[in-house]
Structure 1
Amino acid sequence: MLRLASYNVENLFERAKILNRNEWIDPGSGTDRRDAARQLLDDFAKFNALLAKEVYSDTDKVEIVALLEALGLGTSDESQFVILRRNRRSLVKRTGGEITVIADGRDDWIGWLELKTEALNEKATQNTARIIGKLRADIMVVVEAEHRPSLLRFNQQVIAPVAGWSFDHIALIDGNDERGIDVGVLTREPHALDFVRTHVDDTIDGKRVFSRDCPEFHFALGDSRRLVILANHLKSKGYGFPAENDATRKRQATRIREIYQGLRTAGNEFVAILGDLNDSPGRDPLSPLLGEGSDLRDVSEVAGFDNAGRPGTFGNCTASDKIDYILMSPALFALAHGGGIDRSGVWGGTNGTLFPHIPEITKATEAASDHAAIFVDLDL
């Protein structure tokens, strides 16, 4: 038997400060500032897109100044949430309260804008390891991991002492998200990776398709059969305009479907798509994967699958909060049995009483993740 799982671990040691929900509350008024956080991330993306231009037009320079001020960088290269890094020469000069763009293009200076990070709650990190220890997955896709070194540290320094065992192999390729939220895979013997194929540079109309990546993890099963896993984290609903976000997710889902069909045509019978697809079943953005014409089967259809009374995987786990998936090719689905949703690492509701969680979680900030883990057992 092989246990396959997917878990959005929401970074393990550090994450961008702007993604910390505690930073969304104005301490003086208790006002929810998520709209401001979304706007800052939009401005961050626009600023980096401008910086990449070969030539900065007069219009670009006006927008650069406006974005610097919007990002809190009017008087300094560092604000509450972002830092303007400069390695050689300068982008701007600040004199008498005014900002002037002195670089005429990308080649005139070396630097970048980055999001400030902060350490996560140590108890939350340990609780993430406790949930992983409960799962005892043989192959686990992780979403929102910072990079491979962080997964190595987490495996050796947290999972091993907390769970009493650890993974044998870890793979992660840096993706397109500048915030350091990537997708990777952790495996236990005898399930060693054969090879990885990245789709980080796949483009449509000259633009990269994936917000992170859609890596193919290929496993040789020892009897001439092969298991291929596509790990994903699609564009979120939370930042930008809803219609644009939906369109982006649909492009991503369409490309995933193409990759999946290519694998099937090449003779791969056992293919699974795992991860955070950031949308619920029945909505148009996921129709290439879940709609008419697709032969992919959702893990929730497996006999004996236990959703513990709720269909969702995020937040309060309502039906509209079903955003984490394990989708399987027909041949792989035929070998699946059992499985379920483990939401014991999620706080659940305002007071954490909406559903049971592990006793080590005593307040919301100690939750292992806002996402439940999802898993299935396969006769492989």
Structure 2
Amino acid sequence: MSLRIATFNIENLMARFDFSGYRNELWRDRAVALFEVKNEAEYRELERARAIAHTDDARQLSALAIARAKADILCLQEVDTIEALKAFEYGYLFKMVGQGYRHKYMTPGNDSRGIDLAVMMREETRHGQPIEFVRMSSHAHLTFDDLGLHTPLLGELGNDPHERVFRRDCLEIDVTVGGRPLTIYTAHFKSMGSPRNGMTGREATMPVRIAEALAVRRIIEDRFGKDRTADRRWVICGDLNDYAERVIIEGDEDAPRFRVAREAGSSIDVLTADGFCENVVQRRPELDRWTLYHTRGPQERHLCQLDYILLSPALARKNPGAVPDIIRNGQPYRTVFPPGQAVERFPRTGWDRPKASDHCPVAVTLDMA
């Protein structure tokens, strides 16, 4: 009896237009910036047309990536509303997979842009085992003080004790698969952002992600009991916005070189320390673990894993040979692939856009017997 579970940052599955680029040119889409805009009314008209045209291509590619993942349960990040998710599933994903993901769950989180976490699931696995929803819990309300996680460093960075730990949420969903219990924790940690105050964006935001990771551990330990956590079936899925290693890309376009660089510390270490859980993507070769291509121009390029499926020790022991798949066919052509990893892109994929997402779906098949 197996279950296939996946995570995917679908990148701004929005149901709203964003007109903030009229007041702030830094937020204006590059295509609109090419044209002279006389007034706000004209800008809104142009932005609506651009967004709709771009979204149709992008969501076809997102749906193809999800279809390729072949998941029974799919954890999503950056979803605007349940209505947007339903419209995407009916208008795009249905054309790829049919009546697959009938059940959809999400709840509002803390993100200032309103992008939330969601979980979609089939009524049964591909092998006919029933998937039954049991309950859902949001942890968006938890503060640093609630969990005793506030530190002086967090305070120096402008985070007060009464503020909420999660920048989005840690959404907890219990299901049974063929009668066997499974608890899913899906999260989307604080993004790195741009350099500030003499620090890289990653360094400046690391304390928040460490607090989020500690909070996830605390939630799981409080749920199952510290001494019993390792023996329960649970999985953490999501965009955790941090990496323990990178594949640095050097050289020119014609002859790129790839070098693995391991980080001195990462918020991911908080979750994997002491065998609390296993990052099963690390079962792949070290040059082949990436889920995102980052670039700020030819002089700053790397591949890294930001998207995770972390298995409880019980699930990891039960699945010693389970190696996740990373679906990269929706990546734009500007993404630099290491030797032997090139894939056939989905139709209509562009150099930079359209694309399925800036992230790649990650999926793994687990033995639930």
TM-score normalised according to structure 1 size: 0.68
Give 1 or 2 for the bigger CA radius of gyration. 1
Change (3 A) 1:351 1:301: closer
Alignment check: 8 A CA contact 2:132 2:177 kept? no
Change (3 A) 1:273 1:18: farther
Change (3 A) 1:346 1:185: same
Over residues 318-338 of structure 1, what are the superposed CA-to-partner deviations in whole Å (9 max), with x where a residue is unaligned? Answer: 875211100010111123323
* Alignment pair present for 1:230 and 2:185: yes
Alignment check: 8 A CA contact 1:217 1:229 kept? yes
Question: Root-mean-square deviation (CA), in Å?
Answer: 3.4
Partner of residue 289 from structure 1, selected from 248, 265, 271? 271
Corresponding position of 1:324: 307
Corresponding position of 2:215: 255
1:152-167 paired onto structure 2 within 5 Å = 152-167=86-101
Over residues 224-252 of structure 1, what are the superposed CA-to-partner deviations in whole Å (9 max), with x where a residue is unaligned? Answer: x4111111110001157434411111111
Aligned-residue offset at 1:284 = 3.1
Alignment check: 8 A CA contact 1:257 1:289 kept? yes
Secondary structure at the counterpart of residue 288 of structure 2: coil
* Alignment pair present for 1:135 and 2:63: no
Change (3 A) 1:270 1:132: same
Corresponding position of 2:131: 191
Corresponding position of 2:250: none
* Alignment pair present for 1:370 and 2:348: no
1:3-22 paired onto structure 2 within 5 Å = 3-14=4-15, 16=18
Alignment check: 8 A CA contact 2:238 2:308 kept? yes
Secondary structure at the counterpart of residue 12 of structure 2: coil
State the distance in 1 between where 2:80 and 2:63 align.
16
Aligned-residue offset at 1:155 = 1.2
1:1-380 paired onto structure 2 within 5 Å = 1-14=2-15, 16=18, 23=29, 27=33, 118-119=51-52, 120-189=54-123, 190-204=130-144, 205-223=161-179, 225-239=180-194, 241=196, 242=201, 243-265=203-225, 269-281=232-244, 282=263, 283-290=265-272, 292-302=273-283, 310-315=288-293, 321-336=304-319, 337-349=322-334, 355-356=342-343, 357-380=345-368
Identical amino acids, percent of aligned pairs:
28
State the distance in 1 between where 2:31 and 2:175 align.
45
State the distance in 1 between where 2:363 and 2:292 align.
15
Alignment check: 8 A CA contact 2:131 2:178 kept? no
Aligned-residue offset at 1:348 = 4.2
Change (3 A) 1:246 1:155: same
Secondary structure at the counterpart of residue 9 of structure 1: strand
Alignment check: 8 A CA contact 1:140 1:187 kept? yes
Over residues 249-285 of structure 1, what are the superposed CA-to-partner deviations in whole Å (9 max), with x where a residue is unaligned? Answer: 1111110111122233285611111100001025333
Alignment check: 8 A CA contact 2:333 2:350 kept? no
Number of residues paired by the alignment?
A: 294
Change (3 A) 1:185 1:175: same
Opposite residue 12 of structure 2, the aligned amino acid is N
TM-score normalised according to structure 2 size: 0.70
Over residues 272-303 of structure 1, what are the superposed CA-to-partner deviations in whole Å (9 max), with x where a residue is unaligned? Answer: 1110000102533332113x32421011244x
Aligned-residue offset at 1:153 = 1.2
Over residues 52-76 of structure 1, what are the superposed CA-to-partner deviations in whole Å (9 max), with x where a residue is unaligned? Answer: xxxxxxxxxxxxxxxxxxxxxxxx9
Alignment check: 8 A CA contact 2:15 2:81 kept? no
Opposite residue 313 of structure 1, the aligned amino acid is T
**Greater Cα offset, 183-192 or 281-290:** 281-290
State the distance in 2 between where 1:164 and 1:21 align.
37
Secondary structure at the counterpart of residue 353 of structure 2: helix
Secondary structure at the counterpart of residue 226 of structure 1: strand
Select the structure with the greater relative contact order (CA < 8 A; seq sep ≥ 6): 2
Alignment check: 8 A CA contact 1:288 1:294 kept? no
